[in-house]
Amino acid sequence: MFLRCSFLLILLTTFSSITRAQDVWLQNHFSPNSGCALSNLETVTVLVNNNSGVIMPSNTIQVYYSVDGGTIINQPLSSNLTAGASWNFSFSVKADLSVCGAHTMKVWVSRAGDVNHLNDTLLWTVQNDCPIVPGTVTSDITVCQGANAGTLSLSGWSYGTITTWESSVNGGTTWTPIPSTTTPSYAYNNVAQNTQYHVVIDGGYCPDDTSGYATVSIQTPPVPGTLSGSDSLCENVANGTLTLSGNNQPPIQWEYSTNGGGTWTTVASASTTYNYSGLTATTIYRVLVDGAICADAYSDTAMIYVDPVYPPTVLTGSDSLCITNATGFVNATGTFGAVLNWEFSIDNGMTWTGLGNTTGSLGYTNLTQTTFYRMITEGGQCPDVISDTAIIYVQALPPNPTIGPSDTICASSVAGILNMTGATTPVLNWDTSTDGGNTWIPVANTTTSFDYTGQSLTTIYRAQLEGGFCPDYYSDTAIIKLDAAPVVGVLNQSGSICEGTSEDLHLVGSVADSLYWQFSTDNGVTWQTVPNSDTIDYNTFAIMQDVQFQVVALNGVCPPTVSNQAVITMLPAPIANAGADTAIYLGETITLNGSGGVTGIWMPGSTLSDSTITNPVATPSTTTAYGYYVIDTSGCIDGDTVVIKVLDPIQFNIRNVITMNNDNMNDTWNITGVEFFPMTAVKVFNQYGKLLYENEDYKNDWDGSFKGSRLPNGTYYYVVLKGGTEEEYKGTITLLGNE
């Protein structure tokens, strides 16, 4: 309670102090304000507030002001200021704001006992804008149309801010602002028509204004005109007149060049015509026309082509050639004009035919007869020039003679004569080659026949003849081929083989182009050829009787030779018998019965009691094919097969009763077929789920006992997992005793 009363006392004391606090403050200013052409008699007026609960006597409040931090003007209030009252207070001393630009106004109040000085001062800016003096753009100028540039300047301007430059192309009727132009100067470029320019000036608080304009006048470039009178002349008559027309300004001078315009020579003539004479070189003319304000300009050019008189051209390259290599060049030497054409003649210059070649040389290829050549060069305005003549003599290729006849003979009788036909030039010698034409051996024989005798190798023959302008040449060739007598070789010895088998025969020492095998089944009376048997090794067909074989060798034209004979005697094969196919049930056995030969063996033997006897006992678990293979005293073999089909056993069946009466029927729990599913697991439970019997590999031997004692009659439950499978069986089994 004491604390609460103390807090209330503090609040009342604080509130009383705030109510009696004294605060005089400046709420707002009314003048002076920004404007155009302010004077030196501007009234300063502010709003003074008494922000307290007491009356403030007039002589206790002082108000001050200064302009731009200058002289301080002080004036007290002229009457009391009641509590909470406001007063529009104006200073009697006027402010001088006549200077153009921004002025900083500061007004403040002062009173003893004022507790808050944060609201005693007002500070603001007054802008005095002076009236614009717009000036004018300098100065008018005339420029050449298209390629011009310069700078215009605003002069005589004061006050205000440049807003933009503007242009007019219709005498000032309409003006178009020029973007981004706020400086006192403007650079113009490529003005295409008469244009006026002025400047727009922003006056701020004073009215905007526009400067005086300047005009850029355009003079069109001069038309220099065209020259007429170009010509092509021969140097002995190079005279004529050139005329300038179409120009709109007077000529200043004529100029000419004899080096394609590289340098020019001035002719002191201001006429529109020019007479030339006695030119010895091609000359270009032009006229320089006065451009006035624009640059002086040249007319187009006129060219006087002056062609020299050329002497006849000298040709080199005359030759005598063979028709096989009548290829080469004829070249022109000396000074000549442009080549108009080359011409040829094959009738000793009587008639000429153009070749369409305009170069300084002529290539000819594979001429077949003597040919004359000449070159025609252009004389320009002078007569065309015909060169001297180059002659290419062409010798025809001698006809190629033939020799013969070629022949193939057996090496045992070599003799004959080769004869040449069609020779038109002398024989130089004969050549022979025994390596297929890789190398040749000359034989000193200049006749048109050649006698060959006793040669031991196949030989190629030819004759070499004189060629004249053409190279020496050869006749065609003749080949005398020698075939050696074939060597058939020796066939391996005779033998005996079992019936139905084949034999590998081999021929040794054979030298022949080709071979073929023959066989006889009638002791050599008749022979049959084995197809596609050109080989020294031969695997015979299956022998079913006695057969004789021989080989025939061939070599070119020589007679065939026949080898010795190989006799193959057939041994009869034994007859194997494995018995008839049969079927058994899985788990049963069967006795096999084989016969034939001297001895035999069964395969496979893994399910047989003995695979080496004729009647083994078979116990297959799946259908099996047993082969019985026998051999006789000659070593011949035969085989036969018997198939034992294995049938599925009686279906897997779980009996549901045990009588336990020792009558050998149902005395134990029987699962039919369990013997075929080893590892069959069984479990037997009573009605409460207690395990009474368990076996992981059941053999049909549980008699319904538990721990050596027979279980009571009743119903029990079993679970059977069929061995080797994932099949599970569940059911009930009934125990019946003494029944």
**pLDDT, tens digit, for every residue of 183-200?**
999 999 999 999 999 999
Helix or strand holding residue 432 (H, E): strand 427-433
- The partner residues of 321 in beta bridges, in order of sequence, read 394
Per-residue model confidence (pLDDT) at position 737: 75
Q: What is the C-alpha to C-alpha distance for residues 684 and 691, in angstroms, rounded to an integer?
A: 6
Q: CB count, 10 Å around CB of 137?
A: 24
Closest of 365, 310, 356, 306 to residue 333, by C-alpha: 310
In sequence order, the 6+-apart residues with CB closer than 8 A to the CB of 1 are none
Ordered strands of the 637-647 beta sheet: 582-585, 637-647, 624-631, 599-603
Burial, 520: exposed, middle or buried (Cβ in 10 Å; 0-12, 13-18, 19+)?
middle
With contact defined as beta carbons under 8 Å apart, do 291 and 249 qualify? yes
User: Among 131, 208, 228, which residue's Cα sits nearest to residue 162?
Assistant: 208
> Residues 478, 458: contact at Cβ < 8 Å?
no
CB–CB of 628/612 below 8 Å? no
Return the pLDDT at 649: 65
Mean pLDDT of the chain: 89
Torsional sign, CA 270, 272, 278, 279: positive
Strands 353-354 and 283-289, sheet pairing: unpaired
Taking CA atoms, 135 is separated from 160, 217, 252, 384, in Å, by 11, 21, 43, 79
CB 410 within 8 A of CB 483: yes
pLDDT of residue 3: 30
| pLDDT computed for residue 696 by the predictor | 95
The token pair that represents 737 in the structure block: 């005793």
Sequence-separated (6 or more) residues with CB below 8 Å from residue 699: 674, 675
Tell me what pLDDT residue 176 has. Answer: 96
pLDDT number for residue 738: 57
Q: Do residues 64 and 74 touch, judged by C-beta distance below 8 A?
A: yes
**pLDDT for the residue numbered 12:** 31
Write the CA distances from 687 to 691, 692, 693, 728, integer angstroms: 10, 11, 13, 20
Inter-residue contact 543 to 501 (CB < 8 Å)? yes
Angle at 185 between CA 183 and CA 188, to 5 degrees: 120
C-alpha count within 13 angstroms, C-beta hemisphere, residue 161: 6
Cβ neighbors of 662 (< 8 A, separation 6 or more) are none
Residue type, 655: R
Q: What H or E segment, with its residue span, contains residue 490?
A: strand 490-491
Contacts of 709 (CB under 8 A, 6+ apart): none
Cβ contact 201:223 at 8 Å: no
What pLDDT does residue 607 have? 93
């058939």: which residue's tokens? 488
CA gap 252, 86 in Å, rounded? 92
What does the buried/exposed string (b/e) look like for 51-77 if buried means 16 or more CB atoms within 10 Å of the residue's CB? Answer: bbeeebeeebbebbbebeeeeebeeeb
Position 552, amino acid: V
Could you tell me the two tokens for 247? 């120009």
Residue 83: which of 111, 55, 107 has the closest Cα? 55
Average pLDDT by stretches of 10, the chain with 739 residues: 32 35 89 95 95 86 95 92 90 95 95 90 95 94 90 94 96 95 95 95 94 94 92 87 93 94 92 92 94 90 86 87 90 83 94 93 92 89 87 90 90 86 93 94 94 88 91 91 88 85 90 92 93 90 91 89 91 90 80 91 93 93 92 90 81 84 84 85 93 94 90 94 89 81
Q: How far, in Å, CA of 491 to CA of 528, rounded? A: 17
- Residue 574: CB atoms within 10 A of its CB come to 21
